[in-house]
């Protein structure tokens, strides 16, 4: 009898082990799926926190812009400042659109210089510039197309530049902060232009631009700025601006690495009931302009 009892107990133990194994096999997928859902929820929460911080950053930048505009005490060249929102760091930059190259009006030389400065070989950069003029329906002596330019189409937003042959998304990302469709001007304001735009001016060199940037903070007169550092031959590419259109960009980085970028484009009005109007809202990649930037150089 004792042998039979031992056999029964052994069978029961085996059945129990199989039951435990079966339960484990049923629970494991559920636990795995739950961990995955928790991770997705955590990532979504982090992204949402970064998004809200970036959007708040654009509003802080707008307030600063309006205050400075009211007293006329500052110009904005895209230099950044940092604001801390809890554990999230927000970088805020205000850029005057007059310091950017207008895709609908810029001369072919400035466009070619911009792409060459982004690392495109000179011949290819000149071809891209001609493709832009062809899209606009403009003619240029250096663009020796067999056919006359067709009826052009204006760029409605800068993102349309990525559709031009030879550009694409990666190259557009590198020069996106240097182009605009807001000014309608064929020249740029050197007092607020970023370095890549200044390097696009024909005749500009690293030393000339670096010297100019080093002294620009103390220059308030356009005549002094133009004569001090930039060649006279470049005068037709320069202008003074009434500073009406701006982009406020805010990039938020949370402590867990989540990042989000928001851009608010505004046009200033009279100091009254409507001091500004929103003309654009973008949410580009947080790392736009940094990927491949180290490898970009001005072609010889």
The predicted-structure confidence for 287-299, as pLDDT tens digits, reads as follows: 876 544 444 443 3
Contact criterion met (CB below 8 Å) for 134 and 143 = yes
Q: Angle at Cα 265 formed by Cα 260 and Cα 270, nearest 5°?
A: 145
Q: What is the pLDDT of residue 298?
A: 38
Q: pTM of this prediction?
A: 0.78
pLDDT for 213:
87
For 80-135, what is each residue's pLDDT tens digit? 899 998 889 999 999 999 999 999 999 999 999 999 999 999 999 999 999 999 99
């Amino acid at each position: 009898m004792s042998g039979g009892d031992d056999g029964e107990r052994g069978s029961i133990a085996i059945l129990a082990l199989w039951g435990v194994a079966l339960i484990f096999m049923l629970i494991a997928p559920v636990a795995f799926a739950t961990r995955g859902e928790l991770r997705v929820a955590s990532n979504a929460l982090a992204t949402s926190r970064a998004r809200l911080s970036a959007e708040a950053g654009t509003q802080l930048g707008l307030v600063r812009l309006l205050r400075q505009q009211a007293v006329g005490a500052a110009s904005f060249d895209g230099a950044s400042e940092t604001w801390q929102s809890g554990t999230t760091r927000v970088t805020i930059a205000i850029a005057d659109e007059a310091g950017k190259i207008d895709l609908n009006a810029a001369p072919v030389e400035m466009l070619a210089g911009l792409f060459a400065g982004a690392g495109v070989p000179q011949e290819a950069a000149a071809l891209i510039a001609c493709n832009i003029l062809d899209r606009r329906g403009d003619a240029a002596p250096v663009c020796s197309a067999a056919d006359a330019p067709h009826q052009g189409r204006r760029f409605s937003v800068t993102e349309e530049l990525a559709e031009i042959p030879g550009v694409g998304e990666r190259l557009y990302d590198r020069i996106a902060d240097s182009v605009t469709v807001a000014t309608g001007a064929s020249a740029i304001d050197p007092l607020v232009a970023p370095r890549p735009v200044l390097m696009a001016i024909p005749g500009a060199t690293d030393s000339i631009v670096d010297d100019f940037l080093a002294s620009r903070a103390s220059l308030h007169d356009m005549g002094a700025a133009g004569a001090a550092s930039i060649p006279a031959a470049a005068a037709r590419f320069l202008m003074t601006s009434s500073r009406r259109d701006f982009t406020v960009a805010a990039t938020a980085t949370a402590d867990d690495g989540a990042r989000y970028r928001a851009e608010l484009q505004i046009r200033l009005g009279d100091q009254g009931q409507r001091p500004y109007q929103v003309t654009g809202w973008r949410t580009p990649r947080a790392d736009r302009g940094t990927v491949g930037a180290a490898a970009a150089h001005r072609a010889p």
